Amino acid sequence: MASEIATELAEQVDRALADAADVSTLRDLEAGNWPAATWDALVALGLNGALVPEAAGGVGLGFSDVAPLMEVLGRHAAPVPLAESIFANALLSAAGITPPEGVISFGAGQGAIAWGRHASHIALLDGARIALYPAAALAWEVGGNIAHEARDRARIIGAPVAEAVLPNGWGAEAALLATALMRAGQIAGAMQAALALAVDHANTRKQFDRPIGRFQAVQQQLAVFAAETSAASVAAAAAARAVDRRGLAAAAFEIGCAKITVGEAATRGAAIAHQVFAAMGITEEHQLHHFTRRLWSWREEGGSEAFWAKRIGQEAQALPGALWPFITAREEEITP
């Protein structure tokens, strides 16, 4: 479970985002403008090094501590890559590279890199090998997900400033696993925001002389949304806990299960949100789509439900014994 410090930090980020970003920031971002003021407000909290050990100059938090932070970022559809920077810092520092200041993101292989064009540095992973490139060493083929968040492909045109290999516990899939973990938490947060909007709308929009939330059909749909939102949050937190206990690579099972859970939850939740908002929710002007388009996008990043379902299914099929003992042993053989 998240420590008190972590809850406090999440609240700080919550306030900072409430002050330094709003719907117009999100619109600006979609128009291609970098929200420098928002980034400055967040970076001032000193959280880039959240997952970097204190001995290495970081904040020394665990993955469980950072889970509520990811939710907050999702709840605000944060228009800056604090999540990416936190995880890039963690990866670099695990490999013994001192993370640079500033906006920093990470990616693997030929894949799109979240916020690439806005970063001053990029950590590029090739299996367990990690190299730190300054922006000047990369040329970008810009792209975006369906929420118009920058998802850019890098061509290397210069030399890295540092290269190293991740220790064993981080494994050859560190970029994939870190992305999945990050997006799982953000999806939970974005669902909380979309649910709150939908509930508020149900209590205020009137048809047939009463708030639509008085109709049982609407109530029952929102109850399902709430249940899926809780499931997403629990799944993201449980995956983070597994990483704290056994390391990133050995928590692939939990991360995969979480990503399936949040992906399915996002699909259901986004659909219900739009049903409750009806035409209003389809407009560009309304803020709902900033959350739902992110939910749809983030399902794809760090492995989709289909990707993980196949892997988790194969892992379960390959078990020497039954499924149940496998699931329980993962929680109980390792004491924290």
Partner 1 sequence: MAGLRFDLRDAPEGAAELRAEVRAFLAEHAPNFTPEIRARSWMGFDRDFTRAVGAKGWIGMCWPREFGGAERSFLERNIVLEEMLAAGAPVGAHWIGDRQSGPLILRLGTEEQKRHFLPRIASGEYAFCIGLSEPDSGSDLASLRTKAEKVDGGWKLNGRKIWTTFGHLCDWMIALVRTSPAPEGGARHIGLSQVLVNLRAPGVHIRPIRDLVGEKGFNEITFDDVMLPEDALVGQEGAGWAQATSELAFERSGPDRYLSSHPLLEAAMTTLKQDNAAAPALGRQVARLWALRNMSVAVAGMLEDGQDPVRQAALVKDLGNDFEQALPNVVRDLIATEDMPEDMRRMHAYLTQIVPTFSLRGGTREIMRGIIARELGLR
Find the part of the chain contacting partner 1 (CB under 8 A) among 86-94, 108-116, 225-233, 277-285. 225-233
Q: How far is the CB of 264 from partner 1 (least distance, A)?
A: 8
Find the part of the chain contacting partner 1 (CB under 8 A) among 80-88, 99-107, 166-174, 300-308. 300-308
Q: How far is the CB of 149 from partner 1 (least distance, A)?
A: 25
Distance, CA of 238 to CA of 229 (rounded, Å): 14
- Find the length of the chain: 336
Find the part of the chain contacting partner 1 (CB under 8 A) among 6-14, 105-113, 170-178, 328-336. 328-336
Task: Report which residue type is found at 317.
Answer: Q
| Residue 199 touches partner 1, criterion: CB under 8 A | yes
Distance, CA of 15 to CA of 41 (rounded, Å): 10
The pair of structure tokens assigned to 194 is 């979309």
Q: Pairing between strand 206-207 and 138-141?
A: unpaired
Q: How far is the CB of 256 from partner 1 (least distance, A)?
A: 7
| Site track for partner 1 across 239-268, x = CB under 8 A | --x------------x-xxx-xx--x----
* Contact between 312 and 256 (Cβ < 8 Å): yes
Among 234, 267, 271, 286, binds partner 1 (CB under 8 A): 234
Distance, CA of 177 to CA of 170 (rounded, Å): 9
* Contact between 96 and 131 (Cβ < 8 Å): no
Find the part of the chain contacting partner 1 (CB under 8 A) among 26-34, 80-88, 222-230, 290-298. 222-230
Q: Which residue has the tokens 């035409």?
A: 279
Tell me the CB-side half-sphere exposure of residue 324, using CA atoms within 13 A. Answer: 0
Q: How far is the CB of 230 from partner 1 (least distance, A)?
A: 5
Nearer to partner 1, 88 or 235 (CB): 235
* Contact between 133 and 121 (Cβ < 8 Å): yes
| Residue 231 touches partner 1, criterion: CB under 8 A | yes
Helices and strands in the chain: count of H runs, count of E runs: 12, 9
Q: Which residue has the tokens 């990470």?
A: 106
Nearer to partner 1, 74 or 100 (CB): 74
Nearer to partner 1, 148 or 311 (CB): 311
- How would you write 217-286 as a 3-class SS string? HHHHHHHHHHHHHHHHHHHHHHHHHHHHHHCCHHHHHHHHHHHHHHHHHHHHHHHHHHHHHCHHHHCCCC
Among 24, 210, 279, 317, binds partner 1 (CB under 8 A): 317
Among 3, 120, 168, 203, binds partner 1 (CB under 8 A): 203
| Residue 20 touches partner 1, criterion: CB under 8 A | no
Distance, CA of 66 to CA of 237 (rounded, Å): 9
Nearer to partner 1, 112 or 327 (CB): 327
Distance, CA of 166 to CA of 57 (rounded, Å): 19
Q: How far is the CB of 8 from partner 1 (least distance, A)?
A: 16
| Residue 331 touches partner 1, criterion: CB under 8 A | yes
Find the part of the chain contacting partner 1 (CB under 8 A) among 107-115, 135-143, 170-178, 309-317. 309-317
Judged on CB neighbours under 10 Å (0-12, 13-18, 19+), 333 is: exposed
| Residue 24 touches partner 1, criterion: CB under 8 A | no
Using CB under 8 A as the criterion, which residues of the chain lie in contact with partner 1 when the complex forms?
1, 199, 202-203, 213-214, 216, 218-220, 222-224, 226-231, 233-235, 237-238, 241, 254, 256-258, 260-261, 264, 305-306, 308-317, 319, 322-325, 327-329, 331-333, 335-336
